[in-house]
Amino acid sequence: MQNFTTKLLLNIGHALDHMFLLIFATAVTSISKDFGLQRWEDLMPYSVAAFFCFGIGSLPAGRLGDLWGRRPMMIVFFIGIGVASIIVSATNSPVELAIAMAILGCAASIYHPVGIPLLVQGELRPGWAIGLNGFVGNLGVAAAAGVTGLLIKYFGWRIAFLLPGVISILFGLVFALFATVESAAPGKKKTPSGGNFGMSMAKLLLIMTIATTSGSMLFNFSTSGNFELLTSKFSQISEDPAQIGLLLAFVYSLASLTQLVVGNLIDKISLKPLFLGVVALQLIGLIAATGVDGWPFYLSQIVFMAAIFGAVPFTDAMIVRYVDDAMRSRVSGMRLTIALGASSLAVWLIGPVVKQSGFDALLWVMVATALITLLVVNTLPTTPSPRNQEHDACREERA
């Protein structure tokens, strides 16, 4: 089990990971003007490399986490993503931006296959730990909207990348000094095999990959497009980037609370019905958001973002439940490589879809994506709740 300082830094790392990937989404209009582009939609495809590398980099990151060590990989993460963000702040053209964003994506790819398995090592309540970690991570999403909006308004988009980059490097140095030292790399330890409840590893990995892909596409569609989406829906009320950023930050902060609720429930009830309920809420919120503007849209945005954030802990919870710690980073890396690499398409699609058909078309694409998630999750077997498993284990011990 990790000490308090390590857990705190790992949770902060999750917030930074999401924040850095989404600074661009808030700053895209300002960057476009600075680079001499007429429309922000024309710059969106140049950020795809970041999300593609965020996915493809998970495979080597997961392997290194298991076989070299998760602690040293996290030091590389903090310092690497900080340096990459500083490089982004110095770019002067779309091509330079694309290259710098790719480097940022490579550094960001380390966190999920390495940081989360490190967080839950020996954890007695993994669902709660994952939920809390997701909550803090999504506060990073909120910070990307709120803090970036304020920095852009008063200091410019370059400072919005530069300042967080310096802060991340400082956190990396703190992690190197105070984080729990590993006795050995996880892949070199012998751990008991866990039950898979009659599900083959291949089938489990397939379900997790498809569910993660569709969930990541929804996450990318929403978080990368929400700032401009909210601006368009609030065009008659406000177009102030700082005000829109704060409104969006409130959405993310409120929606992030869902992960605390879901994380707590994962430790108590079966995954399948809980996962299905959260995805059904995604569909309700997204359908309600189509064709409305102003405050009615804002309310529906809170609902669908709460459900999108609430779905995030499930795939990590499945890995904790079904996969030995010695290979969790590698399994996580494999499914993230496929899922996040494919879902980077969502970022590329935002600009062309909105430019051609408007934001309502984008919302209907998100509805279809949520429906795919619902169908895939429905193929999961219904497993006993963690509480029932504990009771059964106690009975066996008494017998």
Structure tokens at 148: 């970036």
Domains and CATH numbers, the chain: 4-181+195-383 (1.20.1250.20)
10 Å CB burial of residue 297 (0-12, 13-18, 19+) is: buried
Structure tokens at 177: 């000094």
Three-state SS sequence of 202-223: HHHHHHHHHHHHHHHHHHHHHH
Whole-angstrom Cα distance, residue 227 to residue 316? 27
Q: Compute the Cα dihedral for 328, 330, 335, 341 and give only its sign.
A: positive
Closest CA to 369 of 207, 205, 221: 221
Residue at token pair 């284990």? 393
| CB proximity list for 177: less than 8 A, separation 6 or greater | none
Whole-angstrom Cα distance, residue 133 to residue 115? 10
What pLDDT is stored for residue 393 in this prediction?
42
Whole-angstrom Cα distance, residue 71 to residue 179? 8
| CB proximity list for 388: less than 8 A, separation 6 or greater | none
Q: What is the pTM of this model?
A: 0.77
Whole-angstrom Cα distance, residue 90 to residue 294? 36
pLDDT tens for the 399 residues of the chain, in order: 568 899 999 999 999 998 998 899 889 989 999 999 988 888 988 888 898 898 889 999 999 988 888 999 999 999 999 999 999 999 999 999 999 999 999 999 999 999 999 998 878 888 899 999 988 987 887 787 788 888 998 999 999 999 999 999 999 999 999 998 877 777 766 554 444 555 677 777 788 788 888 888 888 888 778 888 888 888 766 667 778 888 888 898 888 889 899 999 988 888 889 999 999 999 999 999 998 888 999 999 999 999 998 988 887 887 887 777 888 888 888 878 877 777 777 777 787 888 788 888 889 999 999 999 999 888 877 766 665 554 444 444 344
Whole-angstrom Cα distance, residue 349 to residue 332? 26
